[in-house]
């Protein structure tokens, strides 16, 4: 016997209670609220033969992009694969998750994409495909996948707003800022608790240099996005970026201590997705010459305990940043060694590490050692390919900032003026962009 979920997707279970818990977990995940894993685990404890529960659990592991989650994903896949009555959609979920476990992120990405296209009312499949678009730098997919799914929905339906929030982020990553903000604000009008839509609008303001407005926007909507346990740290990171753009080091560090890295200060284990934001924030402060105290050391220790290097190049680069910021060259070299081994292997991450992650990490190492010309030589070509290894435009901006600082310190005035000019063109009112251009220009004139 099978049932259908609230959006009409067939589920191979006779347990209405298990299905209701799965739907609860799905809503929590769409809102990035805690704890979808605990909810689906409770459903599986009561209904161990719940195939879609196992498939959902495996998909949550995929969203982590961490090696430590592979055994859990594989256990979920194994538990469901031979269950009687598993339907086509459920098996497609399991097969997609298995490709991720095998290290073939590109095949997992394709399979989840095909699944969401075949079942456009399967919001979890769409969400995993959307996140894999993000992890693998598919900006067009971020925009187009939710837009295509909308044709199977009515605006009045409860799930429609989540599609708008996803589309808003995709539009922003493709540079269509006006449409992105419209879609994000429409999503929030329908569902104020959509932390992903808040995040999309914040991205628009970041890319346009609307710093004062961005601070006010996030503060105004804080009650909507702070309960989003899996996204709150990132939205706080955006708030810190708005302050940093205007030289607000004290405000940024206060946000770091209270909202981005309090667990790191206490020595607690942190997921990579949160340590990424911590690394990126402290590195930006380092580039500006700010005193970060002992924060880099604590963060470096947290990355070292994590020990997941060599699985996903985007994570690895941020681990290297933390170690270099702490002055721990040996720890950074350890990650670089793992990256070199990964680059020599097979699978999606091997390619991403060879083409993007490793040259960037080596460039950041050269920068930290004061070899600025070498840093620029390594970072500049990888910067043009960096979208391929994931992250957002705002997250990858740390690459451009490091390259620009290397050009300034290495007295490559042509490169410095070119990069600073790009920033001013994108953010004409930005105090940071203007100061960087002034540094490039005034130093050149003095020379």
User: Could you tell me if 307 and 370 lie in one domain?
Assistant: yes
Mark which of 133, 149, 175 sits at the end of a domain: 133
Claim to verify: residue 178 and residue 254 sit in the same structural domain: yes
**Which tokens belong to 27?**
């809503």
Helices 195-208 and 393-409 sit at what angle, rounded to 10 degrees?
30
Q: Which residues contact 68 (CB under 8 A, 6 or more apart)?
A: 308
pLDDT band at 445 (very low <50, low <70, confident <90, very high): low
- Model confidence pLDDT, tens digit, residues 162-196: 999 999 999 999 999 999 999 999 999 999 999 99
pLDDT, tens digit, for every residue of 333-364?
999 999 999 999 999 999 999 999 999 999 99
Same domain, 41 and 155: no
Q: Hey, CA dihedral for 212, 175, 441, 279, is it positive or negative?
A: positive
Q: pTM for the whole thing?
A: 0.95
Mark which of 80, 99, 133 sits at the end of a domain: 133
User: Which whole-number Å values give the CA distances from 375 to 107, 166, 372, in the listed order?
Assistant: 33, 36, 5
One domain, residues 222 and 346 = no
440 falls within a domain: no
- Whether residue 16 is contained in a domain is answered as yes
Confidence grade of residue 2 (pLDDT, cut at 50, 70, 90): confident
Q: What are phi and psi of 21, to 5 degrees?
A: -70, -40
Our CA dihedral for 78, 82, 88, 94, rounded to 10 degrees, sits at 0
Q: Using an 8 Å Cβ cutoff, are 38 and 24 in contact?
A: no
Q: Which of 398, 367, 404, 399 is nearest to 383 (CA)?
A: 399
What pLDDT digit, counting tens, does each position of 263-301 carry?
Answer: 999 989 899 999 999 999 999 999 999 999 999 999 999
The CA-based angle 24-29-30, given to 5 degrees, is 100
Q: Which domain holds residue 58?
A: 1-133
Is 185 in the same domain as 96?
no
């Amino acid at each position: 016997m099978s049932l259908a979920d609230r959006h009409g997707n067939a589920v191979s279970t006779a347990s209405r209670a298990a299905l209701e818990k799965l739907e609860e977990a799905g809503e929590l995940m769409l809102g990035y609220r805690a704890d979808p894993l605990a909810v689906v685990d409770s459903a599986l404890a009561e209904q161990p033969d719940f195939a879609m529960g196992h498939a959902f659990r495996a998909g949550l592991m995929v969203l982590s992009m961490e090696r430590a989650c592979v055994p859990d994903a594989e256990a979920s896949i194994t538990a469901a694969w031979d269950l009687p009555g598993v339907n086509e959609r459920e098996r497609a979920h399991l097969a997609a998750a298995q490709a991720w476990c095998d290290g073939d992120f590109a095949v997992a990405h394709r399979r989840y994409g095909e699944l969401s296209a075949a079942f456009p009312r399967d919001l979890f499949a769409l969400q995993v495909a959307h996140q894999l678009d993000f992890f693998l730098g598919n900006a067009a997919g971020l925009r187009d996948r939710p837009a295509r799914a909308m044709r199977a929905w009515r605006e009045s339906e409860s799930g429609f707003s989540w599609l708008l929030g996803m589309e808003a982020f995709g539009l922003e990553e493709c540079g269509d800022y006006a449409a992105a903000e419209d879609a994000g604000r429409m999503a929030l009008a329908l569902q104020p608790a959509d932390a992903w839509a808040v995040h999309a609008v914040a991205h628009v303001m970041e890319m346009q240099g609307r710093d004062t407005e961005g601070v006010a926007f996030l503060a105004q909507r804080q009650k909507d996005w702070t309960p989003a346990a899996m996204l709150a740290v990132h939205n706080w990171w955006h708030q810190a970026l708005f302050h940093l753009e205007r030289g607000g080091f004290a405000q940024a560090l206060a946000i770091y201590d209270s909202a981005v890295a309090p667990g790191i200060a206490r020595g607690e284990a942190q997921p990579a997705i949160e340590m990424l934001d911590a690394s990126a924030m402290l590195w930006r402060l380092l580039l500006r010459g700010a005193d970060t105290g002992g924060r880099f050391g604590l963060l470096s220790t947290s990355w070292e305990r994590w020990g997941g290097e060599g699985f996903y190049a985007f994570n690895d680069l941020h681990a290297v940043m933390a170690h270099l910021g702490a002055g721990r060259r040996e720890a950074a070299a350890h990650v670089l060694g793992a990256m070199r081994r990964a680059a020599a292997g097979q699978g999606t991450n091997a390619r991403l590490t060879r083409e993007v992650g490793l040259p960037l990490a080596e460039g950041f190492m050269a920068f930290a050692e004061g070899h600025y010309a070498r840093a620029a030589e390594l970072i500049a070509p990888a910067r043009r390919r960096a979208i391929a290894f994931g992250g957002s435009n705002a997250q990858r901006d740390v690459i451009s900032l490091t390259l620009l600082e290397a050009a300034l310190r290495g007295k490559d005035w042509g490169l410095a003026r070119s990069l600073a000019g790009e920033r001013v063109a994108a953010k004409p009112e930005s105090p940071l962009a203007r100061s960087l251009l002034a540094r490039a220009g005034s130093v050149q004139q003095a020379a």
